[in-house]
Amino acid sequence: MSEIVLGVAASHSTLMNTHWAETYHKDRAERFRDALGTARNALAAARPDTVVLIGSNHFRGFWLDLIPSFTIGVDECVASGESGTPKGPQPVDRELALHLAGDLVERAGFDLAFSARLQIDHGQSHAIQYLLDGLDVDLVPLVVNVFAPPLPTLARCEQLGRALREAVLAFPGGRRVAVIGSGGLSHRLPWPDWREPHGDDEEFMVGAWRNGRENWQDYDIRRREIIRAAEASLNPEFDDEFLTWFEQGRADRVTGFTTQELEKTAGNGAQEIRTWLMTAAMLDHAPARRLAYEPMPEWLTGMGVAVIDPAERTERQS
């Protein structure tokens, strides 16, 4: 049988790579970066064979011609490499990935999409860059749709996390598995609802999402300009409350939000906390340890890092 040895949840921002020099809250930025390093060291100490990497899509790996709610990579996986993130083929644990895809259908009733040639973007490769730096591990990439409504509900994401846990534990290959959830916390991107764009910038964005499969790089300069022109919209109070739930092993409380309520409270980018919720569920909602929280308006995002070590709960119970 296999075991889940650690969970890590962390925010991502490519502005760490491209605009570090323009970052004026350097103390906050350095604390967040240091927390990523601490989480990376915890992963190294846990000695995983494989990492289930749960992340979002920013329309550089999926486009509006096909948007599944959940997609698991079962063979080839290529990172798009935008904004200084890793580029090119990534190692996939094909045996475990195929087991998860099959087990979720046959035993848990989840009809996930799968890809034998998955392209990921910084929604996952940012974690590869900072949390898996120098670690010799294979991946099972799982992409969650958080930006192209209709989105999977928070409750459905939590249920999938629990089903993934059971599928991992049932795998006979004896894997040591870690889980990473990448995304969040509160932030608002200048992205339209693709069903109802307003104005030139929103029309441009939706056009990029519809037509960018073969030439997404051609849209990137203006995309970045639109994002850089946006005003920050953070909700540190919500972020702190959610992190407190995470620490208490009660992340499932966020399932009380509808998709619309979550966006109103914490921005469209907060939909990425689905990846944190799924990570918590895969760790059976063991209490987490908060490593950092830094509101970063110049990165448009509330940046958090937390670690879930199931051994710590076992020690407290004994």
pLDDT digits (tens, 9 = 90+) for 54-63: 999 999 999 9
Of 58, 99, 126, 187, the active-site residue reads: 187
- Respond yes or no: is residue 198 known to be catalytic: no
Is position 290 within any domain? yes
Report the CATH number at residue 65. 3.40.830.10
Is position 206 within any domain? no
Read off the pLDDT of each residue in 4-20 and give the average, rounded to a whole number: 95
Tell me the C-alpha distance between 213 and 142, whole Å. 19
Is position 101 within any domain? yes
Query: Bigger pLDDT: 48 or 232?
Result: 48
Of 12, 58, 99, 122, the active-site residue reads: 122
Give Cα separations from 169 to 99, 156, 313 (angstroms).
11, 20, 18
Give the tens place of pLDDT for each residue, 289-312.
999 999 999 999 999 999 999 988
Is position 124 within any domain? yes
Crossing angle (nearest 10°) for helices 236-248 and 259-266: 120
Nearest-5° Cα angle at 226, 223 to 230: 140
Name which of 178, 177, 145 is nearest 274 in CA terms: 145
Tell me the C-alpha distance between 278 and 79, whole Å. 22
Is position 199 within any domain? no
In angstroms, how far is CA 122 from the centroid of its own chain?
A: 9
Report whether 239 contacts 266 (CB < 8 A). Answer: yes
Q: What is the pTM of this model?
A: 0.96
Is position 215 within any domain? no
Is position 132 within any domain? yes
According to the model, what pLDDT value does residue 318 have?
Answer: 45
- Respond yes or no: is residue 187 known to be catalytic: yes
Return the bridge partners of 278, or none.
Answer: none
Crossing angle (nearest 10°) for helices 220-228 and 199-211: 140
**If pLDDT is split at 50, 70 and 90, which confidence band does 316 have?**
low
What domain range is 131 assigned to? 3-189+230-317
Is position 150 within any domain? yes
Give the tens place of pLDDT for each residue, 102-133.
999 999 999 999 999 999 999 999 999 999 99
| Number of domains the chain is built from | 1
Q: In sequence order, which residues have a C-beta less than 8 Å from that of residue 217 and are 6 or more positions away?
A: 82
According to the model, what pLDDT value does residue 80 have?
Answer: 94
Name which of 188, 193, 187 is nearest 205 in CA terms: 193
